Amino acid sequence: MNKFYITTPIYYVNDKPHIGHTYTTVAADVLARYHRMIKDATFFATGTDEHGIKIAKKAKAEGKEPQQFADEVAAQFQMAWDEMNISNDGFIRTTDKAHKKAVQNALQYMYDKGDIVKDKYEGLYCVGCEQFKNEKDLIDGKCPDHQTVPEQMSEETYVFKMSKYSDKLLKMIESDELKIRPIERKNEVVSFYKEGLKDVSFSRKNVKWGIPLPWDKSHTAYVWSDAFLNYLTILGWNGSGKKYPEMFPPDVQLMSKDILRVHATIWPAMLLSLDLPVQKSMLFVHGFFLIDNQKMSKSIGNVISPADLIKRYGVDATRYLLMSATPFGHDGNVSWEKFDEKYNADLANGIGNLVARVLTMIEKYFESKVPLKNQASNMKISPELVFKVSSQGQKPWEMRTFINWELGAYKNHMKNERLDKALAEILFLISAMNGYISEYQPFKLIKENKEKTAAVLYNCLESIRIISVMLWPFMPETAEKIWTQLGLNPAKELQKDFNEAIKWGGLDPGAEVKKGEALFPRLEK
């Protein structure tokens, strides 16, 4: 059995979640669900990053103690993920006692090894990023992500001698031992390394809201050093150890490009310093959701919340709209108009309409029963029932061959984290099915030949069933509703291994179909 450990960044609790965070989290959920379906031992981690100056300042502005403020916002994240049907296996908060203890032990280990030393650090600090910035990262003197001027800082600090691991890490990245994808992101990281990796300030004397260094309590741990260790502590590393070491290192770490550089430098350097494995991990960088070409961010204030989307479209449609909004791995503008258009085209007119029209015909012509008993997978289909994707200019395909081909493409996209492309295969299948119905016109055929109509509609039902298996990681509730409508038991379907579930012939012959309410009612302007 393979293992699959997937992580999202842990989100700052300076404000409630917006659809940028939701995007990463839903993408991780889709991948986790898919890997559970192919029966990989899966662990999906997410959580909240709660220390540091940014949170302390926001709590103060709200007139609250940092812990109370962090408790409230962390709860909002947990609620948002519950509402979004996120299936995370753990939720780590950096204020958890076990996490804090493990961070202290880790930093002590690095200090004892001589990798952390006392020094003085000067630089331009962006509170929004909680990072020192180089002059050349700024645009007109401002941080491009936060549109703020960084503060000049100079203080006594403990420094992590990260540069000592530079050559080793560069080799690991170049050889894909530590994979960074998409490839253009890897190239950026490689050129960053070639400029020479600098040491990094790892403690703050003037920040009280943080984890005290065990050997010098007048300093707190740099918030990123604390945050990175979440990927270990959530597994119980240096503590209860429930999922450590079996799950470590992560197979896929999702994030957007704002935090790639630190993930590709500080994080693996910490692992090397801690004598822990880095190999076979992958950092996968997806794009930014932009509004009017600007990054959506809490600091800028141009945010759409997941609750706004759920109110308009429902949970599953929101998941779909997020995952199909932009090519996964690249930036893209989002807008309400685009979401509305996609909802109507892909969901109301696409999958919703296909399921409704097929089930209506089954009700009308076959007393709501799955027709054509015993459609064995090796049964020879009569030539009229081949699937002519003629509009695509291709030669006729036998339906099962066509679906198998589509399934192959889908699996390949899921393996390579191309979620938008996997969805595009599903949409293609749906529109091909609509084409199939137009071609065979079961609503006319029924007047001439009931047996042939049964075969046509059986093919439609079976294709819908397979489409719903492919949809499940993206839209679990919709897939389960479709199974119920097809007369199947969702709990039983979920136990099946993916390869078993997608085999042609999974319908129960004679089972009663139940056409429910419209899956995606059309949105009116």
Interface ranges with ligand MSP (CB under 6 A)? 9-12, 20-21, 23-24, 49, 227-228, 230, 255-256, 258-259, 288-289, 295-297
Closest CB to ligand MSP among residues 9, 314: 9
| C-alpha distance across the termini of the chain, in Å | 49
CB of 23 to ligand MSP, least distance (A): 5
Asked whether 370 and 362 are in contact (CB, 8 A), the reply is yes
Nearer Cβ to ligand MSP, position 220 or 297? 297
Nearest-approach distance from CB 378 to ligand MSP, in angstroms: 47
DSSP characters over 374-385: ---TTPPPPGGG
- Residue in the shown chain whose Cβ atom is closest to ligand MSP: 20
Query: Of the two residues 28 and 422, which places its CB atom closer to ligand MSP in the complex?
Result: 28
Q: What single-letter amino acid sits at 112?
A: D
Helix boundaries (H) for 282-328: 306-313, 315-325
Residue 425: Cβ-neighbour burial (10 angstroms; 0-12, 13-18, 19+):
buried
Q: Which of 35, 58, 146, 481 is catalytic?
A: 146
- Note the Cα 518 to chain centre separation in Å: 27
> Catalytic pick from 16, 21, 54, 219?
21
Closest distance to ligand MSP from the beta carbon of 289 (Å): 4
- Per the annotation, the verdict on 460 as an active-site residue is no
Q: In this complex, which beta carbon is closest to ligand MSP, that of residue 259 or of residue 356?
A: 259
CA distance 26 to 322: 8
What residues contact residue 166 under an 8 Å CB cut-off, 6+ apart?
A: 193, 196, 197
Nearest to 288 by CA among 519, 8, 14, 21: 21
Catalytic residue among 35, 161, 243, 298: 298
Q: Which of 16, 51, 99, 129 is catalytic?
A: 129
Query: Of 373, 317, 193, 184, which Cα lies nearest the Cα of 265?
Result: 193
Q: Which residue has the tokens 């794009």?
A: 287
**Spatial separation of the C-alpha atoms in residues 382 and 372, rounded to whole Å:** 14
Residue with smaller CB distance to ligand MSP, 12 or 132:
12
CB of 53 to ligand MSP, least distance (A): 13
CA distances from 303 to 59, 335, 389 (A): 20, 11, 42
**Closer residue to ligand MSP (CB): 10 or 370:** 10
Q: How far is the CB of 374 from ligand MSP (least distance, A)?
A: 49
User: Measured from the CB of residue 424, what is the shortest distance to ligand MSP in angstroms?
Assistant: 20
* Long-range own/partner contacts, residues 239-244 (CB < 8 A, 24 or more apart): 239/98, 239/101, 239/102, 240/98, 243/43
DSSP of 90-103, one letter per residue?
A: EEEETTSHHHHHHH
- Judged by CB, which is closer to ligand MSP: 126, or 432? 126
Catalytic pick from 35, 51, 99, 126?
Answer: 126
Among this protein's residues, is 18 annotated catalytic? yes
The phi and psi torsions of 324 (rounded to 5 degrees) equal -105, 0
Catalytic, out of 54, 100, 179, 295: 295
What's the rounded Cα separation, in Å, for the pair 190 and 349? 45
The rounded radius of gyration (Å) of the Cα atoms in the chain is 26
Rounded Cα–Cα distance for residues 16 and 48 (Å): 11
- Provide the minimum distance between the beta carbon of 503 and ligand MSP in the complex, in angstroms, as a whole number: 36
Torsion of CA 369, 374, 380, 383, to 10 degrees: -10
If the CB atoms of residues 237 and 402 are measured against ligand MSP, the closer one turns out to be: 237
Q: How far is the CB of 288 from ligand MSP (least distance, A)?
A: 4
Choosing from 16, 143, 411, 413, the catalytic residue is 143
Catalytic residues: 18, 21, 126, 129, 143, 146, 295, 298
